[in-house]
Structure formats: structure tokens, C-alpha cells
Amino acid sequence: MALYMADRTKNCLHLEGLSAAAGGAYRCPLCGEDLDHDGISRWVGEAERARDEAYSMDEGDGFAKIAREEAQREVYRRRRIMYELENVPRVATTRPEMILVVHDSGAASYGCRIFYKEPRQAGSVEQVSVAAVLETILELRSDPDPVVRLIAEKVEEFHGLREKLLGDGEPAPQRRVFYANELRAVG
């Protein structure tokens, strides 16, 4: 806390967001720092780099998982602030670059991470978790978001393969990456 007080601009996370200030800048009401358009982009970029670093850490560690989720939430939060300030229309029809589907046997679910080519569009879904139950997966096929429907298709495909292998007494893969060439156009 003492450190925070001593250098509050540098350490401030702008937790209450930014509001329009003079000269087209945006000001943090907590620390008073002014950010222009580039400053906000850099601020978002810093969170993205921290998130990428967190994701490059060892996956098996419970603490690392919490750190990853926190880093990802911070990216979302900063992007949301940026998009709101810049009134970027929320379009979510970009085709993902890659979808990673990981089966979580403890939770009996599939965790999906969706990667897009830069620049990512506001509102694009980046993470979906779905129970490893065919009915639930099929429900997602009618989600209003076309990217979610696409994810549901791929999860269904992976789930079907796993079920078949397990039925044959074969070991089933725990993860699968779908690349752009395996993804149909969305919209």
C-alpha cells in the first residue's frame, strides 16, 4: 500500500476506467493520469503481453492457472474500456485463426480457447467451456453467436472421436487444435 501511495500513477490499474478529459485525452479518476489513443492502446498491449507470458508458464500448476485467468480478465477489462471509449462496433463474425479444445476430465467438460488474427474485434468470444455431454454441445449449435456455433461444431467432432476411441477401449486424446483450414467461414 505504501508503494502504491508513493507512486500511484505508475502503479494504478485505472480500476474505475477512464473518462473523457480535455484535448481528446482520457483521464483516470483515481490517479489523474491522462492517456491519449496511443496510450490506451499501449495500456491494453501491456495486459496482452502479461497474459501471453502467463500462458507460456507451466500448465500443471494451480497457481499458474489462476494467474492466467486473472491476466486474461485484465485484458478483457482493458479492451472493454478502450472499445467503449472509441465506440468500436461490436462485431463478432471474424473467423478464428485457431481453436484449442482441451478435455478436462475432472470437470467432465471441454475448455475452448479461440485465437484470432490481429487486430481482434471487440466482442469476439475468446473462451468457451461446455459440459462433455452431447446434448449440451448440440444446444450450443443454435447459439446466436456464429463463432460459438462454429466452436460447438468442433467440440462435437472432438467429443465424437473421443467417445468412439473410449468405446473401443483406446486411449482418447485430451486436446485438439483446429486450425483455420479446418474452420468454415462464419456469419
Binding test (CB under 5 A) with Zn ion, winner from 17, 25, 27, 31: 31
Verify binding: residue 14, Zn ion, rule CB under 5 A. Answer: yes
Secondary structure (3-state) at 40: helix
d(CA 77, CA 75): 5
Q: Which range in 26-34, 37-45, 63-71, 128-136 contacts Zn ion by CB under 5 A?
A: 26-34
Closer residue to Zn ion, CB minimum distance, 20 or 133 = 20
Verify binding: residue 47, Zn ion, rule CB under 5 A. Answer: no
Verify binding: residue 50, Zn ion, rule CB under 5 A. Answer: no
Q: Which range in 6-14, 58-66, 100-108, 139-147 contacts Zn ion by CB under 5 A?
A: 6-14
Q: Please, is 59 exposed, middle or buried when counting C-beta atoms within 10 Å of its C-beta (0-12, 13-18, 19+)?
A: exposed
Is-contact 92 60, C-beta < 8 A? no
d(CA 145, CA 153): 13
3-state DSSP helix/strand/coil percent for the chain, to nearest 5? 45, 15, 35
Shortest spacing between CB 43 and Zn ion, in angstroms: 10
Q: Which range in 9-17, 46-54, 97-105, 176-184 contacts Zn ion by CB under 5 A?
A: 9-17
Verify binding: residue 21, Zn ion, rule CB under 5 A. Answer: no
Shortest spacing between CB 34 and Zn ion, in angstroms: 10
Lay out the sheet containing 26-27: strands in order across: 19-20, 26-27, 34-35
Q: Which range in 4-12, 106-114, 121-129, 143-151 contacts Zn ion by CB under 5 A?
A: 4-12
Q: Of 118, 116, 147, 148, which is closest to residue 130 (Cα–Cα)?
A: 148
Verify binding: residue 12, Zn ion, rule CB under 5 A. Answer: yes
Binding test (CB under 5 A) with Zn ion, winner from 30, 85, 122, 186: 30
Verify binding: residue 78, Zn ion, rule CB under 5 A. Answer: no
Q: How many residues bind Zn ion (CB under 5 A)?
A: 5
d(CA 162, CA 165): 5
Amino acid at 1: M
Residues that bind Zn ion (CB under 5 A): 12, 14, 28, 30-31
